[in-house]
A and B are shown apart, each in its own frame.
Chain A
Amino acid sequence: MDRRTFLNNLIQLSAATTAAGAVVAGFAEENKDKPLTLRPPGALPEDEFIKTCIRCGLCVEACKNRDNKMIVNGKEIDTLFLAAPGDKAPIGTPFFIARTGPCFMCDDIPCMYACPTGALTPKECQNDKGEVAIDYAKMGVAAIDPSSCIAFWGLQCTACYRACPELDKAITIEWKQNKRTGKHAYRIPVLHEEYCTGCGMCEMACVTEKPAIKIFPREVFLGKAGDRYVKGWDVKDQQRVKKASTKTTTKTPWSKKNPIQNLNQGVNWNE
């Protein structure tokens, strides 16, 4: 082979591999970006999870062959699945759909301990003291749509409240007077994210045609107040902002005037 053919072949080979590689990588990049995927308990943050999960399915196998099998109307409810092409999760990775197969929160957490790679790890399923239990899982967080939740209409429901494994902690019922009738009460479900594991039992139990309470991944649904706002009555919250930087950058320049001057601006006191 002379030098010319060699170089020609080399260029063609590089071009072909780069093109093919870019197509595959482009597909992978697009496919891995499915922010609404609900992961098993103990999952690493999504960025890390997608790197670390080898897609072996040991968690799904452990979930399928768990001890506390849930049978509804003679049919066993499967929770975890490995995403096949066409599913709403990155290909090959484990996920669950809360409406049809929520996490039943086994005490022994078989799926998490089955993981060989550490994509599911007890470190992501523990409280501040380092105690590992399924109650400290953070699979997601429930969110209520008040417009379709019949409790907000004034109807008696509390299905989600009673389905919740963290009973009276993650969802509480708030009583309010129903002024429309004058003699009835609203019994409104109120969510407390610090106790919510995101198991999805409430979403499965919800009586409306399309669930009025839904599970979202925590990073999708939860906001962040930032260091600028603090609960002045809460010692713990004050600890949070202890290390906050006082140097803040703003997009528009700071006003040179003092606040009183600023407030009085444009008011003519002589009139």
Chain B
Amino acid sequence: MNKIFKNRYLILRRLSQFTILFLYFAANYWGWKILIGNLSFSKLFNTIPLTDPYAFLQMLFAGAIISSNLIIGLVVILLFYGIIGGRAYCSWVCPVNLITDLAAWVRRKTHHEKDNLLSAMKIKKFRYAFLVIMLIFSAVIGAAAYEFINPIGFFTRGVAFTLGFTWVWLLVIFIFDAFVLKNGWCGHICPVGATYALIGAKNLIRVYHTKDNCTNCGNCFAICPENQVLSPVITKKDDFIHGIECTNCGRCIEVCNDNALKFSLRNFIKGEKNEKNSSN
């Protein structure tokens, strides 16, 4: 029981990810009308459209005529992740997270978590530049360029429709993450994740850190896939994890043995006061 509680968010996340994949599969094979489509565009209960914001941006740049369905779907996504979820898409919805989490686990088990073929420091801003360049190239070739290699699309289409050679590309991402660069794909390259980081920059649900409880054990740093967001806060002050790249996965809360971290609603006015106090 304790073990389940210790992994409560992980279990919920896996449940969420697998449920979404299952519903896509069921929509195509048995005609269930709960969630149809895939992660580029879906329809919830056959009415509410949901649009992938990065696919939308690419289509815009490619010069497509945008339909009202896509705009409504985009607004729904922007409202949900902008106000509530933050970058939760990456850890609660995206199926590629299953692969990269597995790769991170392999890394921990084989004790080479810090051995990277590429310099993680050098390419930490790569995803944002990549996001922009793929939009430019979308305009150049007249098609949504990143969608041709987007592993999220590959994965969901592979599950719901035809698999083909999809697994090759997913295997490449696993190998890249496990043996080339720690948290390489989701944390350094994926422009979809970068888009959600920007969308969710000001959302409400965030991890809150209580300084007095923290014993500086470093468990959260070891488990966090985006641990640059932890360093300005952990052991330093009572504050929310404000970093936009936090995926709200809740792993840090689970591994913390000192009750120093919890999910909470971010209060902007209070947050600003705290910052002023600490800087004084």
Contacts and interface: CB of A to CB of B under 8 A. Distances in A.
A116 B67 contact: yes
A117 B153 contact: no
A116 B70 contact: yes
A84 B130 contact: no
Interface stretch (A54-62, A195-203, A224-232): A54-62
7 contacts: A12-B122, A13-B126, A54-B51, A85-B165, A91-B147, A116-B67, A118-B67
What band does the interface of chain B fall in when counting residues whose beta carbon is under 8 Å from A?
Answer: 35 or more
Contacts of B130: 17, 20-21
Contacts of A25: 134, 137-138, 140-141, 145
A212 to B, nearest CB: 28
Interface string A88-100: 0011100000000
A17 B129 contact: yes
Interface in A1-40: 9, 12-14, 16-18, 20-22, 24-25, 27-29, 31-32
A219 interface: no
Contact of A32 (B42, B55, B122, B148): B148
B162 interface: yes
A58 B37 contact: yes
Interface string B136-167: 11101111111111000110011011111110
A52 interface: yes
B157 A84 contact: yes
A85 B168 contact: yes
Interface stretch (B14-22, B27-35, B197-205): B27-35
Given A55-B40, A82-B162, 19 more contacts: A9-B122, A12-B122, A13-B129, A21-B130, A28-B137, A28-B141, A31-B148, A55-B55, A56-B40, A57-B38, A57-B157, A57-B160, A60-B28, A61-B27, A65-B31, A82-B161, A84-B163, A116-B41, A116-B43
B124 to A, nearest CB: 10
Interface residues of A, number: 44
A168 B257 CA distance: 79
Interface stretch (B57-65, B222-230, B259-267): B57-65
A243 interface: no
Interface in B40-92: 40-43, 49, 51-52, 55, 59, 62-67, 69-70, 73
Interface in B105-137: 122-123, 125-126, 129-130, 132-134, 136-137
A50 interface: yes
Contacts of B73: 116
B28 A92 contact: no
Where chain A touches its partner, the secondary structure class is helix
B169 interface: yes
A194 interface: no
Nearest to B56: A54
A13 B149 contact: no
A32 B141 contact: yes
Contacts of B207: none
A26 B158 CA distance: 23
Given A21-B137, A56-B42, A51 B63 contact: yes
B125 to A, nearest CB: 6
Given A24-B148, A61-B27, A64-B28, A50 B143 contact: yes
Given A27-B149, A29-B141, A14 B38 contact: no
B178 interface: no
A28 B61 CA distance: 15
Given A29-B141, A85-B166, A55 B64 contact: no
Contacts of A118: 65, 67
A140 to B, nearest CB: 21
A18 B133 CA distance: 7
Contacts of B132: 17
A56 B70 CA distance: 11
A50 B138 CA distance: 11
A170 to B, nearest CB: 30
B38 A51 contact: no
A92 B123 CA distance: 29
Nearest to B55: A54
Contacts of B125: 13
A37 to B, nearest CB: 13
Given A32-B143, A57-B28, A116-B41, A51 B64 contact: yes
Nearest to B141: A29
A86 interface: yes
Interface string B222-264: 0000000000000000000000000000000000000000000
Interface centre among A18, A57, A92 (most CB of B within 10 A): A57
Contacts of B55: 54-55
Interface centre among B73, B123, B126, B157 (most CB of A within 10 A): B157
A12 B43 CA distance: 41
B96 interface: no
Contact of B129 (A14, A29, A48, A86): A14
B36 interface: yes
